[in-house]
């Protein structure tokens, strides 16, 4: 189960408040312009008045997407060329001396089924089409580009229009972006399938958007997200280049904040397209000379005959507020001159509204197979070429596509269809009859201009007949959930519908933007007021010992504990990006642990029994999860066995909860890639101060523990990868002596928890025989827990350096931050040996940094190639393959932004040659004549360094270190204090770290500051 894309839409209402964006008012040339809620006309006027540029507008929306989309999930991809396109639009305006059309320079999102011939994917929200290449822009996109619109990105949707599994896939969910969230009520449905198009416009992440509709896919999400949705007559807009659902009913239309904006867009996208010849030739006859803008009339309601069918559209409304509001709106329609023809009936309405009974769904599935196969065959390149291929892809990638949760039953039914046969023809004839004898008869006999309905329940009527409709915001229920009013008409009646919808909108002006209030957010947002699983036992911040006591007292079960952490992951991970995957078997494993305890099984006496643990996504698990180092290159690879530490954890009864995110390839791909970023999850976020570095590479392991997404976690360290993220995220990280574990190390909230984990994971491993055999001699009889002594500081000699890089420079900000922690060490009985100097420091420093890089570059290629060759299956088998994969999928892996310089340098190497041997020898000398001599000369038990600044010293010598929370700066960013020692000195380091922790007790839960 891929958790970067959680399916749950049940997020606390306050969750979004943290994501408030400042700077909605732009000042240019001394003049102000408010972008939020601005209409196309207002934006064009701001362009003309030099209050705004297209580039500034695009920057605003990109920032807005960056801030809000981690929660709302309205956007799948942003166009990497959007800023360049905006610059070009600005240049065109300057050279032409003014406006070049209503949409010129206007940013627009298109649904991720609408083809764009650029650097973006067109995937219907599915990973199956990642890397496919369309032959050309969709017809509507060609018209938009010609009009000067800026294609900002791709909007999310219900994956494959929900036709993958009608009863399984939730509205607004797709594998690529996760669950779209209603910006008004986060627990409310965003509806679909054009969910992202509606969410993005509603939340001001874009000016306008395009959606598609087969059956309610524009009308319903517009209704639920308080925006205007216009479903055109079939054929009025081209479907060419759009991933099809059921071409006989598919249409493309605008989703905007106002009727006027929707009409501006319709004027551009409507028209004949030879690539969709039959439909658009028929639809084009309805386009009025002069376009649709002329029908934006304030008095548009005057004289219009509007029909009301109360059963079932009004009588079955469950919300009294909506029912009352609808009656009020009928009164408004009458007051504005409309003639409301009430209490009408549509023949066979129950059959029309039931797509199973009418056969609509059967024909839709058959149409889908025929049309999607044709679409896939026309792609220039594609990983899949048929519906069969898509089904197989999903079966091969069940966690990625959440196959167990949502299924693909409708796909399978569609694949079993054999084309339009007699049965399908009979259904189509019946649907045509239902339309003619139902809706068309109603409209003609009563001389109606439009049918008026609350919400979107009339969509099936409009779908099967290819009729147009417009929905307009009509109000909000008692919980704040939006609802709309829909005006539907006969084919080609868009002019009348525009008049009616615009007249209603101007008379009511109901729409309001989502309320992202700031005051209620900071704490409740990330859920510190939500109920814990057990009212008797508070799970958040609980230690391993606390949890085991709760197990013993029957106040908690492993199942409840796992369910709590999964809920926290679903709630917080969309912003924090700390977890890549959750183990689909986690709850089953928790039940097993509970049964073992109930039976008094002696399977494990470990304190980790029944405890959920996250492991970094480069630690192999032989289960249903991937092991990918955060890269798409390894998706689908199969490891031959659990990593050694995972074997030990499972034997101890721990529950592998999931995989934590990381700096991709442990930050080994390129120095340009930010700490905490990987392609599979994006940029991880520091839970204390969002704008601060979360550090890496074990970023997700530290964030997850800090934010209570897991009890404990494992990371890995080469140089700073445990110590640095632990420091920045206010948690405890232990870097053991090299070989004490295979490579993996604990990150926890307390020193005691870290010691419990260390006791389980250390020891000899035949798969890492040389290193673990050598280090096993350091493991003390009785383990490490015995060194958890409150007076552990007493008598310890601790070295304090004043070197700029490693120490506490005098009269610096660092020395001020650590004044109290150092005092705590003295008060605890430690002897601080101050002003120590590392012999030959400058020489050591240079050889250390240069030599370390040379050695790491060569070893990366050797070790990675060996690992890849040992996999049972893998899309890549060498570093060269990975480099080629990244080049092929450069957008997915952000090669343009971050590159792969270190990979390229490593690939040039030819093993451990003379240069590398010399570098390794220099590193050995630097350790022996630097750190080791220093420790011996001053008889030190540990060297104390601020943050993780001593990590290079510890790295090159394979020395251990422990970092403990030491405080928070003025902005709320955490910082830690690190205790490093000679190989095998973990007992002393644990005594020191635990003594300091118990004396200071600095750690506090995240503050979630911007």
859 in any annotated domain: no
467 and 533 within one domain = no
Query: For the chain (length 1010 residues), average pLDDT per consecutive 10?
Result: 29 33 50 90 95 96 89 94 96 85 97 97 96 96 98 98 96 95 91 98 98 98 98 98 98 99 99 98 97 98 98 84 93 98 96 94 96 98 96 92 94 96 96 97 98 95 97 93 97 99 98 65 32 58 92 92 94 94 95 88 70 97 96 95 95 96 95 95 94 94 97 92 95 95 89 96 89 90 93 95 65 79 95 81 54 81 95 96 95 95 94 80 77 92 90 87 95 94 97 96 86
Tokens representing 737 are 């002596």
Q: Is residue 394 part of a domain?
A: no
Together in a domain, 495 and 624: no
Q: Is residue 550 domain-shared with residue 444, that is, in the same domain?
A: no
- Residue 734: what are its φ and ψ, rounded to 5°? -110, 120
Judgement on whether residues 467 and 530 belong to the same structural domain of the protein: no
Last residue of a domain, one of 786, 820, 850: 786
870 found inside a domain: no
CA distance 79 to 891: 10
* 534 shares a domain with 477: no
- Expressed as residue numbers, the domain containing 341 is 13-356+430-508
Examine residue 460 and state whether it is found in any structural domain, yes or no. Answer: yes
Our count of domains for the chain comes to 2
- For every residue of 203-261, DSSP letters joined together read TTSSSEEEEEESSSTTHHHHHHTT-EEEEPPTTSB--TTB--S-TTT-EEEEEESSHHH
Annotated catalytic residue within 9, 193, 200, 663 = 193
Q: Among the three residues 508, 535, 556, which one is the final residue of a domain in this structure?
A: 508
586 with 697, same domain?
yes
Considering the domain architecture, whether residues 531 and 502 belong to the same structural domain is answered as no
Beta partners for 786? Answer: none
Let me know if residue 986 belongs to a domain: no
Q: What is the pTM of this model?
A: 0.62
Residue 158 included in any domain? yes
CATH code for position 224: 3.90.1300.10
For position 22, what pLDDT does the model report?
Answer: 36
pLDDT at 400: 87
In a domain, 80, yes or no: yes
Domain boundary among 474, 508, 542: 508
**Residue 467 sits in the same domain as residue 567:** no
Q: Which of 13, 51, 93, 111 is catalytic?
A: 111
pLDDT recorded at residue 957: 87
Residues 6+ away with beta carbon under 8 Å from 873: 636, 637, 638
CA distances from 11 to 17, 123, 574, 635, 936 (A): 12, 26, 10, 29, 55
225 shares its domain with 265: yes
Q: Does residue 533 share a domain with residue 501?
A: no
Residues 575 and 485 in one domain: no
Q: What is the rounded CA–CA span in Å between residue 325 and residue 641? A: 62
State the pLDDT at residue 302: 98
**Taking the CA of residue 82 as centre, how many other CA atoms within 13 Å lie in the half-sphere pointing to its CB?**
24
Alpha-carbon distance of 421 to 297, in angstroms, equals: 47
Polymer length of the chain: 1010
Could you tell me if 376 and 384 are in contact, meaning their C-beta atoms sit under 8 angstroms apart?
A: yes
Task: In whole angstroms, give the CA distance from residue 849 to residue 863.
Answer: 21
The pLDDT value recorded for residue 71 is 84
Let me know whether 454 and 537 are in one domain.
no
Cα→Cα distances 550→319, 529, 555, Å: 43, 21, 5
- Catalytic residue check, 193: yes
What are the DSSP calls for 170-210, one per residue? PTTEETTTEE---SS-TTS---SSSHHHHHHHHTTSSSEEE
- Asked whether residue 319 is assigned to any structural domain, the reply reads yes
């Amino acid at each position: 189960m891929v958790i970067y894309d959680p399916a749950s839409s049940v997020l606390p209402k306050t969750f979004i408040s943290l994501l408030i964006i400042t700077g909605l008012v732009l000042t240019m040339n001394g003049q102000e312009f408010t972008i939020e809620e601005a209409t196309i006309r207002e934006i064009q006027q701001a362009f003309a008045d030099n209050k705004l540029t297209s580039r500034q507008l695009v920057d605003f929306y990109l920032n807005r997407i960056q801030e809000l989309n981690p929660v709302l999930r309205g956007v799948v991809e942003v166009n990497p060329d959007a800023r360049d396109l905006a610059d070009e639009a600005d240049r065109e305006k300057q050279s032409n001396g003014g406006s070049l059309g209503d949409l010129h320079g206007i940013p627009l999102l298109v649904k991720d089924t609408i083809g764009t011939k650029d650097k973006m994917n067109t995937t219907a929200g599915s990973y199956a089409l990642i890397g496919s290449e369309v032959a050309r822009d969709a017809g509507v996109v060609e018209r938009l580009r010609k009009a000067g619109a800026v294609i900002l990105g791709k909007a999310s949707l219900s994956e494959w229009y929900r036709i993958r599994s009608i009863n399984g896939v939730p509205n607004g969910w797709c594998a690529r972006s996760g669950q779209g969230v209603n910006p008004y009520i986060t627990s409310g449905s965003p509806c679909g399938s054009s969910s992202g198009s509606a969410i993005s416009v509603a939340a001001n992440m874009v000016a306008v958007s395009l959606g598609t509709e087969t059956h309610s896919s524009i009308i319903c999400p517009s209704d639920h997200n308080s925006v205007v949705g216009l479903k055109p007559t079939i054929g009025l807009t081209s479907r060419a280049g759009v991933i099809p659902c059921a071409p006989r009913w598919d249409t493309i239309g605008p989703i905007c904040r106002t009727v006027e904006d929707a009409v501006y867009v319709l004027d551009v996208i409507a028209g004949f397209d030879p690539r969709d010849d039959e439909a658009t030739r028929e639809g084009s006859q309805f386009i009025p000379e002069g376009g649709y803008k002329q029908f934006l009339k304030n008095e548009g309601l005057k004289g219009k005959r509007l029909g009301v069918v109360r059963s079932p559209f009004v009588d079955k409304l469950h919300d009294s507020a909506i029912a009352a509001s609808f009656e009020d709106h009928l009164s408004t329609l009458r007051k504005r001159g409309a003639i409301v023809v009430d209490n009408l009936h549509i023949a066979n309405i129950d059959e029309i509204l039931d797509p199973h009974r009418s056969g609509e769904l059967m024909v839709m599935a058959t149409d889908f197979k025929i049309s999607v196969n044709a679409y896939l065959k026309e792609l220039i390149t594609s990983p899949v070429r048929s519906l069969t291929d898509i089904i197989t892809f999903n079966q091969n990638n069940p966690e990625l596509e959440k196959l167990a949760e949502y299924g693909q039953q409708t796909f399978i039914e569609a694949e079993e269809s054999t084309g339009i046969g007699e049965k399908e023809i009979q259904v189509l004839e019946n649907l045509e009859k239902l339309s003619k004898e139902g809706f068309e008869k109603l409209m003609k006999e009563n001389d109606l201009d439009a049918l008026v309905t609350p919400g979107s329940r009339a969509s099936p009527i409009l779908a099967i007949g290819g009729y147009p409709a417009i929905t307009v915001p009509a109000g909000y229920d008692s919980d704040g959930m939006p609802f709309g009013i829909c005006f539907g008409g006969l084919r080609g009646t868009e002019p009348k519908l525009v008049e009616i919808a615009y007249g209603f909108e101007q008379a009511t002006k109901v729409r309001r933007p989502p309320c992202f209030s700031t005051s209620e957010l900071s704490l409740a947002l990330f859920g510190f007021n939500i109920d814990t699983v057990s009212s008797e036992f508070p799970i958040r911040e609980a230690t391993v010992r606390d949890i085991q006591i709760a197990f013993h007292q029957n106040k908690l079960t492993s199942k409840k504990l796992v369910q709590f952490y999964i809920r926290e992951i679903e709630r917080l991970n969309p912003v924090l990006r700390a977890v890549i995957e959750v183990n689909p078997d986690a709850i089953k494993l928790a039940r097993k642990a509970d049964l073992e305890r109930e039976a008094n099984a002696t399977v494990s006496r470990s304190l980790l029994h029944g405890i959920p643990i996250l492991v970094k996504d480069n630690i192999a698990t032989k289960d249903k999860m991937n092991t990918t180092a955060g890269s798409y290159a390894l998706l689908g690879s199969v490891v031959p066995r659990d990593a050694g530490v995972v074997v030990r954890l499972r034997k101890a009864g721990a529950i592998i909860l999931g995989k934590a995110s990381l700096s991709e390839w442990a930050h080994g791909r390129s120095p340009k890639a930010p700490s905490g970023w990987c392609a599979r999850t994006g940029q991880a976020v520091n839970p204390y101060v969002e704008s601060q570095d979360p550090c890496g590479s074990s970023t997700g392991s530290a964030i997850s523990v800090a934010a209570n997404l897991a009890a404990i976690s494992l990371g890995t360290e080469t140089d700073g990868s445990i110590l640095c993220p632990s420091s920045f995220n206010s948690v405890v990280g232990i870097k053991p002596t090299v070989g004490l574990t295979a490579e993996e190390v604990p990150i926890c909230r307390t020193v005691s928890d870290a010691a419990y984990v260390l006791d389980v994971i250390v020891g000899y491993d035949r798969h890492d025989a040389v290193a673990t055999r050598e280090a096993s001699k350091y493991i003390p009889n009785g383990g490490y827990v015995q060194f958890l002594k409150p007076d552990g500081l007493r008598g310890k000699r601790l070295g304090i350096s004043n070197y700029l890089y490693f120490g506490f420079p005098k009269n610096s900000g660092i020395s001020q931050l650590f004044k109290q922690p150092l005092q705590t060490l003295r008060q605890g009985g430690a002897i601080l040996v101050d002003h120590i100097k590392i012999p030959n420091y400058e020489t050591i420093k240079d050889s250390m940094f240069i030599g370390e890089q040379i050695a790491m570059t060569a070893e990366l290629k050797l070790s990675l190639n060996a690992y890849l060759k040992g996999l049972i299956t893998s899309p890549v088998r060498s570093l060269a393959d990975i480099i080629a994969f990244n080049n092929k999928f450069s957008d997915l892996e952000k090669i343009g932004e971050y590159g792969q310089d270190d990979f390229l340098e490593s690939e040039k190497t030819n093993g451990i040659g003379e240069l590398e041997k010399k570098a390794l020898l220099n590193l050995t000398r630097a350790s022996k004549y630097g750190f080791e001599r220093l420790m011996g000369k001053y008889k030190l038990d540990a060297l104390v360094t601020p943050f993780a600044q001593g990590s290079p010293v510890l790295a090159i010598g394979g020395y251990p270190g422990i970092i403990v929370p030491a405080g928070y700066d003025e902005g709320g960013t955490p910082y830690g204090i690190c205790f490093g020692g000679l190989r095998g000195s973990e007992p002393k380091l644990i005594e020191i770290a635990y003594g300091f922790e118990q004396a200071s007790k600095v750690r506090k839960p995240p503050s979630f500051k911007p």
